[in-house]
Structure 1
């Protein structure tokens, strides 16, 4: 990214103020990313909890679905979101946390945005299972230095190889 040439004409006082504003925006973005990672981890735990409740059942799939619905309903009531939306969020978070650990780690540290994560998820979905772990690591590294749009272009090329 390039700076706006007009900003080079700022007074010292204005430059200090702008530096503070940029730092505040950057801090807010980091806090948001960390909160999104915490939410993903909590929802992934909810998915694992529902799966554990269904263990040992003769109708594991049906019982897991019922357990997931119950857990999702509890969370949905607490956060005032529909239970169907929470079920989708749980499934997505479970996959994210368990299949893309490098990406989640960077999100947790506030180094990536949710938009970066969405790009990684979208591209990794198309890859064979045996390549996902290595791709996750490489994708997280690429995303550290790029905007989501630019990262997508690089990751698409990487996925083609």
Structure 2
């Protein structure tokens, strides 16, 4: 399933974006905030959730520090919600954990509205050691968003 090209999706849109090639691996929101010298709230990890109604993509603000599974359960009106395992992430997206792109995965998305406070957010592109700096409104417009976190 890894034929997703985030750059193509963004180039066909009117949203501003920039590709940044990192000289070190960035594994956590804090590492990203330190590396780019931005507020941790601007770092937007892309997580895959297993739910009772199928897999979902969650793009969340780094300032949250953790996923509120109770909030996700209420949002999706389902009982079971957990982070997908490394194997599940690879199998449903074609990407390894830590390299999941913010765009183009053919799953329903949940996006954190806190990201909209910023002109740009930083997250995954789907390529090793490359970060995508993008207008957060693109997350809501270019993905199949089924819900958002307040």
TM-score (norm 1): 0.23
Greater relative contact order, per chain length (Cα 8 Å cut-off, separation 6+): 2
Relative to total residues, which structure has the larger strand share, 1 or 2?
Answer: 2
Instruction: Tell which structure's C-alpha radius of gyration is larger.
Output: 1
TM-score (norm 2): 0.24
